Amino acid sequence: MQIAYLDLMFRAAVAAVDPAALVERALLDLELDPAGRPVTVLALGKAAPGMVWGVHRVFGDDVTGVAALPVPGPLPGGVRGIVGGHPIPDHRSVLAGESLLATAAAVAPGSLALCLVSGGGSALAEVPAPGLDIEDLAEVNRLLLDSGAAITEVNVVRRAMSQIKGGRLGARMAAARLVTLAISDVGSAPPSTIASGPTLGAPDGGPAPHEIMADYGLLGRVPDRMTRSLTAGPAVPLPDHAFAVIADGSTAAAAAAAKAESLGLTATIAARELSGEARDEAHRVLRDMPGGRVDVAIHVGETTVTVTGSGHGGRNHEAALSAAIALDGRPGAFLAGGTDGRDGSAAGAGAVVDGTTANIGRRLGCEPSRHLAANDSGGFFDVVPGRIVTGPTGTNVADVWLAAPQ
């Protein structure tokens, strides 16, 4: 298997979840009538700019609103863009969150409001619950992310500490004709998990916020005021509204499979979503490669990294480094990439490796196992070829991993 084929498949997966095209198609299917009034957009997440432009393609200059963005970028004239912090919320996130809440409260009764939600929105737009400040939320985020907590668990805690999440933004628009369009980065998790559900209440069941913090040994590491917020939280009255997930990891996986077919390869899409520790999941994916005439297996989802070393990197770089060690001197290839074009503190979206990567690293003075032990996958691929660089893609449906047996 040529690793160049895996790179082409990954890029096809990203192209298939272009947010502007997805939103335009969804709005045309919904046949919404703004009834001569301006259309208000409230966008938050890594795909926010493209999603807003998709609305503009349909409704033109009648679009106004606010978008919480990961990086500065052009928007239609009536939409204000505010860059928030990511992956840890900061004071910019509060400015974005307050602007979203104010815009929501000003939507005229009966007018059309479009909430455009995508991965990353939890951090990019935030207003802390009463009695808390953004430093409190940032600290809890850091503790959870470094502990190896799953993103669904992180979002449960985020919801309890927010005036936006868990449907609180949507509650400000109870009198509007509200439609939420979401690009999902959480796989089969409930839609309310996407950006912690700004227009949807928390899903029923599952552990409570304080139970998650306790499971990771974190309750004793935060002040009492934060603990109290984790055990409070009355139900939020939510308006009836239309909600649609317009793309997710399966959309990207199908595009990767189609690209494989165009290259003359046979591909299979794994039923099980990626989860757990990135380094361990990479070994499982390689170990469980399907037999027969399958050339490449396609996986989607999101893993975690428990940080114990002092290096830099991200879950996809770490998975690729772990795979390089497992493939050392053997046939096969492996790619792990974030569809948003970013991966933790490492440059690039992830990396692609084969059975020669580990030995190349040794020749360049980078012992793979030492870098892995130090959580320094980014440092490894700073030197060793294999990093995937796309730049920010403007979308996010979690991660795509591609594994080839030979």
Q: How many domains does the chain have?
A: 2
**pLDDT (tens digit, 9 = 90+) per residue, 79-133?**
999 999 988 889 999 999 999 999 999 999 999 999 999 999 999 999 999 999 9
Please say if the pLDDT value at position 406 is more than 90: no
Residue 8 lies in a domain: no
Report the pLDDT averaged over residues 235-250: 83
CA 28 → CA 21, 24, 25, 93, 391, distances in Å?
A: 11, 6, 5, 31, 30
- What six digits make up the tokens of 195? 């950006």
What pLDDT, on the 0 to 100 scale, is given for residue 146?
85
Residue 2 lies in a domain: no
Percent of the chain with pLDDT strictly greater than 70: 98
Report the pLDDT averaged over residues 334-363: 96
What pLDDT, on the 0 to 100 scale, is given for residue 174?
86
Whether residues 227 and 305 share a domain: the answer is: no
Higher pLDDT, 320 or 230: 320
Whether residues 274 and 232 share a domain: the answer is: no
Whether residues 221 and 270 share a domain: the answer is: no
**pLDDT (tens digit, 9 = 90+) per residue, 29-80?**
999 999 888 899 999 999 999 999 999 999 999 899 999 999 999 999 999 9
Rounded to an integer, what distance in angstroms lies between the CA atom of residue 98 and that of residue 78?
Answer: 18
Residue from 195, 174, 182, 54 nearest 123 by CA: 195
Whether residues 73 and 128 share a domain: the answer is: yes
Residue 11 lies in a domain: no
Whether residues 238 and 275 share a domain: the answer is: no
Residue bearing tokens 């400000």: 172
Please say if the pLDDT value at position 235 is more than 60: no
Specify the CATH number for the domain of residue 395. 3.40.1480.10
Q: Which domain holds residue 346?
A: 266-404
Rounded to an integer, what distance in angstroms lies between the CA atom of residue 311 and that of residue 176?
Answer: 48
Sheet with strand 333-338: strands edge to edge: 267-269, 296-301, 399-404, 333-338, 350-354, 387-388
Please say if the pLDDT value at position 265 is more than 60: yes
Q: Which of 247, 278, 306 is the endpoint of a domain?
A: 247
Whether residues 234 and 272 share a domain: the answer is: no
Q: Which of 247, 275, 307 is the endpoint of a domain?
A: 247
Residue 349 lies in a domain: yes
Whether residues 316 and 378 share a domain: the answer is: yes
Please say if the pLDDT value at position 262 is more than 70: yes
Specify the CATH number for the domain of residue 47. 3.40.50.10180
**Which range among 93-102, 238-247, 266-275, 353-362 shows the weakest confidence by mean pLDDT?**
238-247
Whether residues 180 and 297 share a domain: the answer is: no
Rounded to an integer, what distance in angstroms lies between the CA atom of residue 34 and that of residue 177?
Answer: 9
Which residues, 6+ apart, have CB-to-CB distance to 392 below 8 Å?
Answer: 46, 70, 71, 340, 341, 342
Q: Which of 212, 247, 282 is the endpoint of a domain?
A: 247
Higher pLDDT, 392 or 10: 10
Whether residues 243 and 276 share a domain: the answer is: no
80-115: buried (b, 16+ CB within 10 Å) or exposed (e) per residue? ebbbbbbbebbebbbbbbbbbbebbeebeeebbbbb
381 and 358 Cβ atoms separated by less than 8 Å: no
Whether residues 191 and 308 share a domain: the answer is: no
Residue 10 lies in a domain: no
Rounded to an integer, what distance in angstroms lies between the CA atom of residue 185 and that of residue 202?
Answer: 17
Residue 228 lies in a domain: yes
Whether residues 93 and 190 share a domain: the answer is: yes
Rounded to an integer, what distance in angstroms lies between the CA atom of residue 236 and that of residue 259?
Answer: 44
Whether residues 288 and 242 share a domain: the answer is: no
Residue 254 lies in a domain: no
Q: Give me Rg for the CA atoms of the chain.
A: 21
Report the pLDDT averaged over residues 222-231: 84
Please say if the pLDDT value at position 193 is more than 90: no
Q: List the Cα angle 91/144/339 in 5-degree steps.
A: 75
Residue 13 lies in a domain: no
